[in-house]
A and B are shown apart, each in its own frame.
Chain A
Amino acid sequence: MTTPKIQLQGVKKRFGEKVVLDGIDYTLPEGESLVVIGGSGSGKSVLLKCILGIIRPDAGSIKIDGEETVGVRGEDREKIQSKIGMLFQGSALFDSLPVWENVAFRLIQGQGMEKKEAKEIALEKLAQVGLAPPVAELYPSELSGGMQKRVALARAIASEPQIIFFDEPTTGLDPIMADVINDLIVACVKKLGATTISITHDMHSARKIATQIAMIFNGKFIWAGPVSEIDRSGNAHVDQFIHGRADGPIKMAVRRP
Chain B
Amino acid sequence: MNFVATIGRAFLDALAAIGRLSMFAAVAIGHVFRPPYYPRLIARQMIEIGYFSLPVVALTTLFSGMVLALQSYTGFARFSAEGAVATVVVLSMTRELAPVLAGLMVAGRIGAAMAAEIGTMRVTDQIDALTVLSTDPYKYLVVPRLIAGATMLPILVLVGDILGVFGGYLVSVYKLDFNAAAYLRRTWDYLEMIDVVSGLVKASAFGFLVALTGCYHGYNSKGGAQGVGQATTNAVVSASILILIFNYIITELFFAK
User: In the bound complex, what is the Cα–Cα distance between A209 and B121 (angstroms)?
Assistant: 29
Please provide the chain B residues from 112 to 130 with a CB less than 8 Å away from any CB of chain A in the complex: 120-121, 124-126, 128-129
Interface code A114-138, partner B: CB below 8 Å = 1, 0 otherwise? 0000000000000000000000000
Q: A90-B124, A92-B124, A92-B126 are in contact. Are A53 and B135 (CB under 8 A)?
A: no
User: In the bound complex, what is the Cα–Cα distance between A109 and B36 (angstroms)?
Assistant: 9
Does B134 lie within 8 Å of A86, measured CB to CB?
no
Does A105 lie within 8 Å of B126, measured CB to CB?
no
Interface size on B, residues (CB 8 A): 13
Chain A nearest CB, measured from B114 CB (Å): 13
Return chain A residues, CB-CB under 8 Å to B132.
Answer: 52, 54, 81, 84-86
Does B135 lie within 8 Å of A105, measured CB to CB?
yes
Does A105 lie within 8 Å of B128, measured CB to CB?
no
Please provide the chain A residues from 93 to 117 with a CB less than 8 Å away from any CB of chain B in the complex: 93-95, 105-106, 109-111
Does A90 lie within 8 Å of B131, measured CB to CB?
no
Interface code A34-67, partner B: CB below 8 Å = 1, 0 otherwise? 0000000000000001001110000000000000
Does A78 lie within 8 Å of B126, measured CB to CB?
no
Q: A90-B124, A92-B124, A109-B140 are in contact. Are A81 and B134 (CB under 8 A)?
A: yes
Does A94 lie within 8 Å of B134, measured CB to CB?
no
Task: Judge if B133 is at the interface, Cβ distance under 8 Å.
Answer: yes
Does B129 lie within 8 Å of A86, measured CB to CB?
yes
Does B131 lie within 8 Å of A53, measured CB to CB?
yes
User: In the bound complex, what is the Cα–Cα distance between A82 and B133 (angstroms)?
Assistant: 7
User: In the bound complex, what is the Cα–Cα distance between A52 and B126 (angstroms)?
Assistant: 14
Task: Judge if A211 is at the interface, Cβ distance under 8 Å.
Answer: no
Does B134 lie within 8 Å of A106, measured CB to CB?
yes
Return chain A residues, CB-CB under 8 Å to B135.
Answer: 105-106, 109-110
Task: Judge if A162 is at the interface, Cβ distance under 8 Å.
Answer: no
Return chain A residues, CB-CB under 8 Å to B133.
Answer: 81, 105-106, 109-110, 155
Chain A nearest CB, measured from B142 CB (Å): 15
Return chain B residues, CB-CB under 8 Å to A233.
Answer: none
Return chain B residues, CB-CB under 8 Å to A94.
Answer: 121, 126, 129
User: In the bound complex, what is the Cα–Cα distance between A92 and B135 (angstroms)?
Assistant: 14
Chain A nearest CB, measured from B69 CB (Å): 43
User: In the bound complex, what is the Cα–Cα distance between A138 and B80 (angstroms)?
Assistant: 67
Return chain B residues, CB-CB under 8 Å to A82.
Answer: 134
| 12 pairs, CB–CB < 8 Å, chain A vs chain B | A54-B128, A81-B132, A88-B125, A88-B128, A89-B125, A93-B126, A93-B129, A95-B126, A106-B134, A106-B135, A109-B133, A110-B135
Nearest first, the 5 closest Cβ-Cβ pairs linking A and B are: A110-B134, A92-B125, A92-B129, A106-B133, A86-B132
